[in-house]
Amino acid sequence: MRKRIRSSRDFQSSGATVKQFALILALTLAFNTFSTAQNTPVHPNWPGPGQLFVGACYQPIDRSPEQIDRDIAIMKRAGFNVVRMGDLSWDSFEPSQGKFTFEWFDKIMDKMQANGIRVILDIPGSPAPIWLHRAYPGVDIVAQNGTRLPPAERYMDNISDPDYVREVGILADALTKRYAHHPAVIAVGYDNEIGNGFMSYSKADRARFIVWLKKKYGTIEELNKAWATQRWSRRLNSFDDVDMPLADGPGPSERYLDLHRYWSDVSVARLEELDAIRQRNMPDLPSISNLWDYASRRGFNYLATYKSYVSYGAEGFYPGDPISGAFGAIMTKGTLATPIWFNEFTAGGGGYYGTPGRSRMYAYLGLMMGAQGILAWTFNSHQGGEEQALFGLIDHDGTPSWKVDEFARIASEFKQLEKYGFPRYTHPEVAVAYSFDSAIASHPNGPSNTTLQYFKTPYADQVQGAFEPLFRTNIDTAIINVGHENLAPYKLVVVPADYVMDASSAKALRDYVTNGGTVLMTAYSAKENEHGQWFDTPLPGRLSDVFGLKTNAFYDWGVLNFDLNGMSIESGAHRYEVLEPSTATVLARFTTTPDHTPAVTINKFGKGNAIYLATESRASAIGPLLKYLCEQAGVHPGPMTPEGVFAREVDGRTLYVNTTGEEKRIPILGSWKGIISNRTYDGVVVLGPQEVDLIPSR
For 78-102, what is the mean pLDDT? 98
Quickly state the pLDDT bin for 44 (edges 50, 70, 90). low
Structural domains of the chain sorted by starting position, each given as residue range(s) with its CATH number in brackets:
18-199+286-420 (3.20.20.80), 430-633 (3.40.50.880), 645-696 (2.60.40.1180)
Nearest Cα neighbor of 289 from 276, 271, 265 is 271
- Whether residue 283 is predicted with pLDDT greater than 90 in this model: the reply is yes
Q: Alpha-carbon distance 609 to 514, whole Å?
A: 8
615 within 8 A of 578, measured Cβ to Cβ? no
H helices within 346-390, ranges in order?
358-369
Q: What is the 3-state secondary structure (H, E, C) of 534-591?
A: ECCCCCCCCCHHHHCEEEEEEEECCCCEEEECCEEEECCCCEEEEEEECCCEEEEEEC
pLDDT attached to residue 24: 29
232-273 per-position pLDDT tens digit: 999 999 999 999 999 988 888 999 999 999 999 999 999 999
Q: Alpha-carbon distance 122 to 477, whole Å?
A: 30
Instruction: Report CA dihedral (403, 406, 407, 411) to the nearest 10 degrees.
Output: 170
- Whether residue 13 is predicted with pLDDT greater than 80 in this model: the reply is no
- Whether residue 596 is predicted with pLDDT greater than 50 in this model: the reply is yes
Higher-pLDDT residue of 572 and 671 is 671
Q: Alpha-carbon distance 193 to 171, whole Å?
A: 18
pLDDT attached to residue 6: 38
For 289-293, what is the mean pLDDT? 97
CB atoms within 10 A of CB 162: 12
pLDDT attached to residue 224: 98
457 within 8 A of 410, measured Cβ to Cβ? no
CB atoms within 10 A of CB 691: 23
Quickly state the pLDDT bin for 25 (edges 50, 70, 90). very low
For 265-289, what is the mean pLDDT? 98
Query: Which residues make Cβ contacts (< 8 Å) with residue 307, sequence separation at least 6?
Result: 34, 35, 37, 38, 334, 336
For 653-668, what is the mean pLDDT? 98
CB atoms within 10 A of CB 649: 16
Give Dmax over CA atoms of the chain in angstroms.
78
- Whether residue 67 is predicted with pLDDT greater than 80 in this model: the reply is yes
- Whether residue 30 is predicted with pLDDT greater than 50 in this model: the reply is no
Q: How far is CA 469 from the centre of its chain?
A: 19
Q: Alpha-carbon distance 310 to 632, whole Å?
A: 35
For 162-184, what is the mean pLDDT? 98
H helices within 228-290, ranges in order?
253-281
663 within 8 A of 632, measured Cβ to Cβ? no
Say what angle helices 459-472 and 619-633 make with each other, to 10 degrees. 50
Phi, psi of 562 (to 5 degrees): -155, 160
Q: Alpha-carbon distance 142 to 564, whole Å?
A: 55
Q: Provide the residue type at 499 as one letter.
A: Y
DSSP result, 5-30: --------STT--HHHHHHHHHHHHH
Quickly state the pLDDT bin for 446 (edges 50, 70, 90). confident
- Whether residue 548 is predicted with pLDDT greater than 50 in this model: the reply is yes
Phi, psi of 611 (to 5 degrees): -110, 140
49 within 8 A of 27, measured Cβ to Cβ? yes
Q: Alpha-carbon distance 308 to 336, whole Å?
A: 12
651 within 8 A of 420, measured Cβ to Cβ? yes
Quickly state the pLDDT bin for 17 (edges 50, 70, 90). very low
199-221 per-position pLDDT tens digit: 999 999 999 999 999 999 999 99
CB atoms within 10 A of CB 296: 9
446 within 8 A of 397, measured Cβ to Cβ? no
For 13-35, what is the mean pLDDT? 33
For 450-468, what is the mean pLDDT? 85
Share of the chain above pLDDT 70, in %: 92
For 560-584, what is the mean pLDDT? 93
Nearest Cα neighbor of 272 from 59, 596, 36, 30 is 36
- Whether residue 46 is predicted with pLDDT greater than 70 in this model: the reply is no
Among the ranges given (15-19, 127-131, 177-181), the one the predictor scored with the smallest mean pLDDT: 15-19
Nearest Cα neighbor of 443 from 455, 431, 428 is 455
Strands 598-605 and 608-613: antiparallel
* Residue 359 DSSP SS3: helix
164 within 8 A of 128, measured Cβ to Cβ? yes
Q: Alpha-carbon distance 10 to 558, whole Å?
A: 50
333-348 per-position pLDDT tens digit: 999 999 999 999 999 8
Q: Alpha-carbon distance 677 to 694, whole Å?
A: 8
Q: Alpha-carbon distance 82 to 174, whole Å?
A: 23
For 413-438, what is the mean pLDDT? 97
- Whether residue 38 is predicted with pLDDT greater than 80 in this model: the reply is no
pLDDT attached to residue 47: 61
Nearest Cα neighbor of 81 from 321, 414, 342 is 414
Q: Alpha-carbon distance 576 to 559, whole Å?
A: 10
302-323 per-position pLDDT tens digit: 999 999 999 999 999 999 999 9
For the chain, the helix, strand and coil percentages under 3-state DSSP, each to the nearest 5: 35, 20, 45
488-533 per-position pLDDT tens digit: 999 999 999 999 999 999 999 999 999 999 999 999 999 999 999 9
Mean pLDDT estimate for the chain: 92
Using omega within 30 degrees of 0 as the cis cutoff, is the peptide bond preceding 151 cis?
no
pLDDT attached to residue 452: 59
Q: How far is CA 354 from the centre of its chain?
A: 24
CA distances (Å), origin 365, targets 111, 691, 697: 32, 11, 19
Phi, psi of 522 (to 5 degrees): -115, 170
Query: Which residues make Cβ contacts (< 8 Å) with residue 76, sequence separation at least 6?
Result: 115, 116, 117
516 within 8 A of 529, measured Cβ to Cβ? no
Nearest Cα neighbor of 350 from 318, 324, 373 is 318
pLDDT attached to residue 10: 29
Strands 430-433 and 477-480: parallel
Quickly state the pLDDT bin for 42 (edges 50, 70, 90). very low
Q: Alpha-carbon distance 562 to 569, whole Å?
A: 5
For 633-661, what is the mean pLDDT? 97
Phi, psi of 518 (to 5 degrees): -115, 125
How many C-alpha atoms does 62 have within 13 Å on its Cβ side?
Answer: 22
Higher-pLDDT residue of 31 and 599 is 599
Residues in the chain: 698
- Whether residue 185 is predicted with pLDDT greater than 90 in this model: the reply is yes
Contacts 24+ apart (CB under 8 A), 596-604: 598/549, 599/560, 599/562, 599/564, 600/562, 600/564, 600/625, 601/547, 601/548, 601/549, 603/546, 603/547, 603/548, 603/549, 604/548
600 within 8 A of 572, measured Cβ to Cβ? no
pLDDT attached to residue 444: 85
pLDDT attached to residue 456: 76
Share of the chain above pLDDT 90, in %: 86
Strands 598-605 and 585-589: antiparallel
